[in-house]
Amino acid sequence: MMVDPEGFGRRLGDVRDRIAAAAARAGRDTGEITLMAVTKTHGPEAVDLAAEAGLRHIGENRVQEAAKKQHGVKAEVFWELIGPVQSNKARLAAAHFDRVQTVERAKIVRALCRACEELGRPELPVLVQVNVSEDPRKAGVSVADAPALAEAVRAAEHLRLEGLMTIPALDDDPDVARRAFAGLRELRDRLSDRLGLPLPVLSMGMTGDLDAAVEEGSTLLRVGTALFGERESGFSA
Ligand SMILES: *Cc1c(COP(=O)(O)O)cnc(C)c1O
């Protein structure tokens, strides 16, 4: 699906206004919040358009789609995997992404670690994905099991734990997402103390809930629809 540059520019302005307003309400500095462009289902030109506008973090949820798209991208960007990693795609993921946000099981920790070894990649930054809302349809480790998984990542050679990511349960009540974001921040604070690691990255907030995410401490927003318009159906989170 082609993206139109004019529409993108206008939508980007609107998203930046939302971020600024939410940051002001929370007394936060917008400089500590990264807006990542989620380009899944869009072509390489969407990535170049985002990069040209200063959005250097690019989110993709399918390893193979991203690997293919990267050939057509001219800009230097930072590729982030925000979709599930199957063990048999771990090597492709470690080869094509700068960071993996979806570590949710010990098996993935081992698979990524092995992939780095095989590729001769000294270090792969990762986030642990937490299912704070305990939504059975959403991926992520439970809050209760997150400390053990975070320890496993920390102990894994080649993986660098930088923070946490969550996708809240879909709910008409906006407080559901807000509680999940606050929960992720509190978990980060506890894990950071326990592990003695800073864990600066909180990846939370999408098109529908980025305002609450900023107010609750997000440092990395994953935004697709609000930047590029509606995706064709069949491709959702
Ligand atoms: C698609 C996707 C997004 C972006 O969602 P929008 O609602 O289009 O902003 C964010 N996070 C993940 C994990 C996704 O898969």
Threshold 0.85, pTM exceeds: yes
- Assess whether the C-beta atom of 61 lies below 6 angstroms from ligand 1: yes
- Assess whether the C-beta atom of 81 lies below 6 angstroms from ligand 1: no
Q: Which domains does the chain have, with CATH numbers?
A: 5-224 (3.20.20.10)
Distance 38 CA to ligand 1 centre (A): 6
- Assess whether the C-beta atom of 225 lies below 6 angstroms from ligand 1: yes
Q: Cα(184)–Cα(3) distance, rounded to whole angstroms?
A: 33
Q: State pLDDT tens for residues 83-140.
A: 999 999 999 999 999 999 999 999 999 999 999 999 999 999 999 999 999 998 889 9
Pocket test for ligand 1, best of 61, 131, 203 (most atoms within 8 A of CB): 61
Q: Which residues pair with 128 in a beta bridge?
A: 103, 164
Using the predicted structure, report yes or no on whether residue 234 has a pLDDT greater than 60: no
Kindly state the tokens that stand for 106. 């010990």
166 near 180, Cβ under 8 Å? yes
Q: State pLDDT tens for residues 11-67.
A: 999 999 999 999 999 999 999 999 999 999 999 999 999 999 999 999 999 999 999
Q: Cα(179)–Cα(122) distance, rounded to whole angstroms?
A: 37
Q: Which of 234, 201, 224, 4 shows the shortest CA–CA distance to 100?
A: 201
Distance 167 CA to ligand 1 centre (A): 9
